[in-house]
Amino acid sequence: MTNEEIRDFIDKAIGENRVMLFMKGTPQQPACGFSARTAGALNALGVKFTALDILPDPRIREELSGLSGWPTIPQLFLDGELIGGADIVAEMYETGELAEKMGAEQPPEPEAAVAATTPEQKAPPMQLENRLS
Amino acid sequence: MPSSTELKQRIETTLTGSTAQVEDLTGGGNHFRAEVVSDHFAGLSRIEQHRLVYDVFGDEIGGPIHALSIKTSTPPGGDT
ipTM confidence: 0.83
Distance CA A102, CA A121 (A): 27
Write down the pLDDT at residue A114. 54
Mutant choice from B32, B45, B50 vs A, greatest count of A C-beta within 10 A: B50
pLDDT at A126: 39
Instruction: Give the pLDDT mean for B65-79.
Output: 86
A24: left (phi over 0), alpha (psi -120 to 50) or beta: beta
Quick one: which of B37, B4, B17 has its CA closest to B57?
A: B4
Question: Chain B residue with minimal CA distance to A66?
Answer: B59
CA of B55: which chain A residue's CA is closest? A71
Chain A residues in contact with B51 (beta carbon < 8 A): 69-70
Nearest CA in chain A to B25: A120
**Would you place residue A107 in the very low, low, confident or very high pLDDT band (cuts 50, 70, 90)?**
confident
- Separation CA A8–CA A1 (nearest Å): 11
The answer to whether residue A115 scores a pLDDT higher than 60 is no
Please tell me the pTM assigned to this model: 0.82
Chain B positions touching A133 (Cβ under 8 A) are 62-64, 66
Judging contacts by C-beta atoms under 8 Å, the chain A residues touching residue B50 are 84-85, 87-88
